[in-house]
Structure 1
Amino acid sequence: MADLGFGQPRDGVMQMAYIVEDIRASIAYWTEELHVGPWFLLDSFTGRDPVYRGEPSRAEVSIAMAFAGHMNIELIQPKDDHPSVYRETLEQRGYGFHHFGLCTDDIDTAIADLEAKGLTLAFRAGVGSGGDVAYMDGGPGKPGMTELIEYTPGMDAGFTAMWRASRDWDGTDPVRPFGARPAAGDAG
């Protein structure tokens, strides 16, 4: 199976995600202390037709993504107290690591495969790249959830554009709108 455009194996871990209290303060930490950036910020995300543990979801989050090498880093700030995969993790463990992201060509089959291994579908929603994401809960013995990220050409192109922006990034424009094209000074 071919690698994704940003160099991660198409059937491997492509993302690590963290729940944060203040997304802008977290971006500043990752940028200033760890030299990770630029960050692509989406101030409001709910997903298309979101379902949390079998019920329609109203939870809203801010998300920011950047690359550390070939690994996508996602920061997630809950914006309300509605039930969600983020809120339940906050209540159980507090802020910090939330999930590993895995790319999948067939999200329905991947969900069924993980359910056969004892994981539970906790959240599913459509995303702007045309596919779906699904969070699988392995229970309290796991370090976090597993997010299945459905492969589409738009998904690969979006992540690859963010990765290209990170190559040889010189620290300018550390926060950019989600979906923005790389700046003129970014490697491509």
Structure 2
Amino acid sequence: MAQMLGFGQPFGGVMQTAFVVEDVRAAIAHFQRDCGAGPFFLLDHFLNAGQFYRGAESSADVTIAMGFAGHMQIELIQPLDSNPSVYRETIEQRGYGFHHFGIACADVEAAMPEYLARGYDLAFKAAVPTGGSVAYLEGGDAAAPGFLELIPATQGMDEHFTAMWRASLDWDGYDPVRPFI
């Protein structure tokens, strides 16, 4: 049996579905009203030193909201500037909508060579508040609808995301948008 995260998703499997959105608060309202997801946890600015987009340092800033629909984490990403990024290029190529699947990895650096050997290319890398760095990959299977994000399944990530998931259990609509903390 696969090792499971505290919110019921397996290591090495899809734990997150992400969308690039024009207005994060409108997208939160949609996912709450029409998809039964929530509450959402909002990070107003995600711009840290050491972000790399296509091999160059990146200065793109985004707002991120995360919530759960069952055991699946939903991530909503709103670009806050016009700086080059994996989010801006998706909008330019396909418009707003699906962006990536997030895959929980025990060790992102150790997992990357296998993906690269299967034809994926590294498009973006950034340190995250829950520990480690995420890596966005593209290519591989030509049928892939977007990026794959390798997410470090650190203890901090598992604890933080599990707390978000627990907040979704029997959520009654109270306090629909909360700080990411």
Q: TM-score, normalised by structure 1?
A: 0.92
Matched residues, number? 179
Q: AA paired with 2:169?
A: R
Give 1:11 deviation, angstroms: 1.8
1:175 is aligned to 2:144: no
Give 1:48 deviation, angstroms: 4.4
Give secondary structure in 2 for the equivalent of 1:49: coil
Structure 2 gap segments, 5+ residues each = none
Give 1:46 deviation, angstroms: 1.8
Aligned-residue Cα RMSD (Å) equals: 1.2
1:135 is aligned to 2:148: no
Report the Cα distance in structure 1 between the residues aligned to 2:133 and 2:160, rounded to whole angstroms.
14
1:155 is aligned to 2:163: no
Give 1:138 deviation, angstroms: 1.4
Q: Per-residue displacement from partner, 1:112-166 (whole Å, max 9, x unpaired)?
A: 1111011100000111111110000117642010000011100100100000000
- Range that drifts further, 30-39 or 6-15: 30-39
Q: TM-score, normalised by structure 2?
A: 0.95
Contact 1:102/1:146 (<8 A) preserved = yes
Mark the CA change 1:171 to 1:94 in structure 2 (over 3 Å): closer, same or farther: same
Structure 1 gap segments, 5+ residues each = 180-188
Contact 2:120/2:138 (<8 A) preserved = yes
Give secondary structure in 1 for the equivalent of 2:151: strand
User: Which residue matches 1:97?
Assistant: 98
Deviating 4+ runs (over 4 angstroms): none
Contact 2:35/2:69 (<8 A) preserved = no
Report the Cα distance in structure 2 between the residues aligned to 1:123 and 1:59, rounded to whole angstroms.
11
Q: AA paired with 2:110?
A: T
Q: Per-residue displacement from partner, 1:159-186 (whole Å, max 9, x unpaired)?
A: 000000000000000000003xxxxxxx
Q: AA paired with 1:133?
A: V
Give 1:35 deviation, angstroms: 2.2
